[in-house]
A and B are shown apart, each in its own frame.
Chain A
Amino acid sequence: MSDLPKLAPATPLSPRRRGIIVGASEGIGAALARKLAKEGYALALVARQKDKLNALCVEINSSSNETRALSYVHDVSNYDEVPDLLRKIIADLGGLDTVVFMAGVNYPPGGADKYNFENDRKMIEVNLIGGMAWLTPVAEMFQNAKAGQIVGIGSVAGDRGRIGNPGYNTSKAGFATYLEALRNRLTRYGVNVLTVKPGFVKTEMLKAAQGATPFAISPEKAADDIYAAMRKRKQLIYTASLWRWIMLVIQHVPSVIFRRMSF
């Protein structure tokens, strides 16, 4: 019932994993789309930027010599669109195994003494409420189907509230907590919830970051790490993995010291 190009039918001997990537047009999302398509997934790629999204679909479909990616233009802050779009995507894909919520924005206030509620609000609207708008109906479906995998992108920035970007810290901490709650709800139904916490990744978003960006990795490396964790049905990963240890230390810095630090 769709005008989109058709996916090859799934059969017992050519089964298909089906995934949605929300926030797929660039950065880690685009890299993960390429990776999953290469692994044989049928994908629904969701993003705001129509041209970038279509170009990515064309690239993926021509390099895999068959239709593996379908594109859907959507702004995650249009929460009301989600249920209908989700239903359409599942029908177009012929099922659903994995949903990756990757969409995120980062608007640093521009200094430790600057405040900007409008920007903070946008980050919460996209990074946190956008994620909840998608993952709430997905969680309910996966719980009923007793199968599925949810991947959510948190950040090392969500592990502590720091002086640089309170709004971003809050959006990612909130999202990580939301994912943890889903995990505790859904594991008993056989659904896997993976929280990914990237450190610095060389994307458009990194350009907005102020100060040093140590241990920065390519989006492709992040996508490989995420795919490996998906296969192992892990609960939480840091990418690069070194960040697990860095954040372990940072999480344990006492507030009395942390308050006096300049990062």
Chain B
Amino acid sequence: MQKNFTQLENFGHSLSAPAYLIQPRSAEEIYSAFQQAKKMGVTVTARGAGRSYNDAALSGGGIVLDMSAMNQILEWDPVTGQIRCESGVTLEQVWQHVEPSGWWPAVVSGTMKTTLGGCLAANIHGKNNFKMGPIGEHVVEFTAVLPTGAEVICTPKKNADLFYAMIGGYGMLGIFTSITMQMKRIYSGLLSVDAFPVRNLHEQLTALHDGAPKHDYIVGWLDTMTGGSSLGRGQIHAARYLHEGEDPNPQETMKLKNQILPPRIFGVFPKGMLHYFMRPFGNNLGWWGVNTAKYIASLRKHTFRQPHAAFHFLLDYVPNWELSYGRGGLIQYQSFLPKETAETAWMELLQLSIKNRLPSYLGVTKRHRPDNFLLTHAVDGFSLAMDFKVTDGNRAKLRSMLLDFDKIVLANRGRFYFAKNSETTSETALAFYGKETVDKFKKLKKRCDPNGLLESDLYRRIFG
């Protein structure tokens, strides 16, 4: 197999590392990459779409498996709603395959570009985590190749220990080859969305808490740049599926052409170019303007109908938006806190960020519930994701602030999610996972990967 020494980046363009890139097309080729790694004395990491904000799909000086060539949808049953795919299939391929016949993936991320293998490795969640759990709860079965060469088939019953550890295991036990998932029935291509403003953090969290049971999806936008009595203000979008019969013409609304995001604004301006025009506003003043304007626009409470794709895949709305953050790129800091402590903890975080003049440019809140996966990031509470621009001038100061954030989150029994956080140390990871969990994971790792062949930069950072 051909291997190319290539400089790879994370999604935020904030970290890069060179690796020997190999594009396997089958389980056999994955196994032969393991053998090659052993011969070369280097480690192996799988990379899906490279949409992690951190080092999860990077491995400096190691072999990186670009899984994008394993992109075949193998089986689809529109009667049961079960789909079997190779692990490099993207969410975009899946929803476009199933939606016209009245199904939708039970859990999707904020971008549709992610691969199923990557989604399972991080055990992603969507805006319906409080109701549907993470994506792993909708996996019927998967197969994976272990570094030993063994091919394992896992379901919630069969090889259950591996099922609950490999999903959310960041690709450190084995490489997914095929994945079978259960889709969710829909009766319209549209969702009914309620949008309304919240004036502060307390209102924001209360709205998420009380709004969740009445909806299928709920997500908050949080104005991270305004302090004082308006700290935590923002807007809630709560959506529900339309019931059978509510949409007079579901065949029409479920057509792909009515779902796909328009490539041009007002039918004229190509969105692929938009990030160039956003760049001059990618500073504190520009983003303050954006946040303030967004809040003012959100004051009108309204209900509207929106296609699924438009509601879910906000990150794809402006292609390459992450480039507007400039040369240093961006990072995301996401913390998960129990509902009892979230308000106090985030008050502290947001105040610290404003006080240090290191404002986050974008804040997003969600409602969560716990799940049964070994390396879970979920809590019965909420999450807050904050985007930060990285510059040569702010790195040291931002890092020290985020390490302070970590202490506050830990003290409030919070957790972290490793598709996102890039600065979390191994001590912090051990503290929130707990020694018992980490030991259990490492024991499984020893069993699946006795020679320690599977290692990403993320693994070395948090478990190394």
Chain A residues in contact with chain B, CB under 8 A? 1, 6, 9-15, 18, 84, 87-88, 90-96, 140-141, 144-147
7 CB-based A-B contacts, threshold 8 Å: A10-B60, A11-B55, A12-B422, A14-B395, A87-B61, A95-B16, A95-B18
Which B residues are in CB contact (< 8 Å) with A11? 15, 54-55, 399, 422-423, 461
- Give residues of chain B (1-44) contacting chain A, Cβ–Cβ below 8 Å: 4-7, 10, 12, 14-18, 40-43
In angstroms, Cα B16 to Cα A96, docked, is 11
The answer, yes or no, to whether B452 is at the interface (CB within 8 Å) is yes
Contact call B41/A87, Cβ cutoff below 8 A? yes
In angstroms, Cα B399 to Cα A140, docked, is 35
Contact call B390/A95, Cβ cutoff below 8 A? no
Interface readout for B38-63 with A: 1 if CB under 8 Å, 0 if not?
00111100000000001100001110
Choose one: B16, B399, B452; the contact of A13 (CB below 8 Å).
B399
The answer, yes or no, to whether B464 is at the interface (CB within 8 Å) is yes
Which A residues are in CB contact (< 8 Å) with B452? 1
The answer, yes or no, to whether B396 is at the interface (CB within 8 Å) is yes
Which B residues are in CB contact (< 8 Å) with A141? 5, 18
Interface readout for B326-346 with A: 1 if CB under 8 Å, 0 if not?
000101000000000000000
Interface readout for B48-87 with A: 1 if CB under 8 Å, 0 if not?
0000001100001110000000000000000000000000
Min CB distance B23 to A, Å, is 15
Contact call B395/A15, Cβ cutoff below 8 A? yes
Which A residues are in CB contact (< 8 Å) with B399? 11, 13-14
Which A residues are in CB contact (< 8 Å) with B6? 144-145
The answer, yes or no, to whether B402 is at the interface (CB within 8 Å) is yes
In angstroms, Cα B60 to Cα A145, docked, is 12
Min CB distance A218 to B, Å, is 31
Choose one: A12, A18, A87; the contact of B12 (CB below 8 Å).
A12
- Give residues of chain B (349-404) contacting chain A, Cβ–Cβ below 8 Å: 390, 395-396, 398-399, 402
Which A residues are in CB contact (< 8 Å) with B40? 87
Contact call B422/A13, Cβ cutoff below 8 A? yes
Contact call B61/A93, Cβ cutoff below 8 A? yes
The answer, yes or no, to whether B302 is at the interface (CB within 8 Å) is no
Which A residues are in CB contact (< 8 Å) with B402? 13
Min CB distance B4 to A, Å, is 6
Most buried by B among A6, A10, A11, A141: A11
Which B residues are in CB contact (< 8 Å) with A140? 5
Which B residues are in CB contact (< 8 Å) with A15? 15, 395
Which B residues are in CB contact (< 8 Å) with A147? 7, 18
Nearest neighbor of A90 in chain B, beta-carbon distance: B61
In order of increasing CB-CB distance, the 9 nearest A-B pairs are A94-B60, A12-B14, A95-B60, A13-B399, A91-B61, A90-B61, A9-B461, A145-B7, A144-B5
Contact call A91/B43, Cβ cutoff below 8 A? yes
Min CB distance A141 to B, Å, is 5
The answer, yes or no, to whether B460 is at the interface (CB within 8 Å) is yes
Nearest neighbor of B328 in chain A, beta-carbon distance: A12
Nearest neighbor of B461 in chain A, beta-carbon distance: A9
Inter-chain pairs besides A11-B422, A14-B396, A15-B15, 6 sampled, C-beta below 8 Å: A9-B461, A10-B55, A13-B423, A92-B61, A94-B17, A144-B6
The answer, yes or no, to whether B457 is at the interface (CB within 8 Å) is yes
Min CB distance B436 to A, Å, is 24
Which A residues are in CB contact (< 8 Å) with B43? 1, 91
Which B residues are in CB contact (< 8 Å) with A94? 17, 60-61, 457, 460
Nearest neighbor of B451 in chain A, beta-carbon distance: A1
In angstroms, Cα B394 to Cα A12, docked, is 11
Min CB distance B42 to A, Å, is 5
Which B residues are in CB contact (< 8 Å) with A1? 41-43, 452
Choose one: B18, B331, B390, B423; the contact of A145 (CB below 8 Å).
B18
Which B residues are in CB contact (< 8 Å) with A87? 40-42, 61
Nearest neighbor of B398 in chain A, beta-carbon distance: A13
Contact call A95/B17, Cβ cutoff below 8 A? yes
Nearest neighbor of A6 in chain B, beta-carbon distance: B464
Min CB distance A98 to B, Å, is 13
Min CB distance A233 to B, Å, is 16
Min CB distance B441 to A, Å, is 19
Which A residues are in CB contact (< 8 Å) with B15? 10-12, 15
Interface readout for B421-464 with A: 1 if CB under 8 Å, 0 if not?
01100000000000000000000000000001000010011001
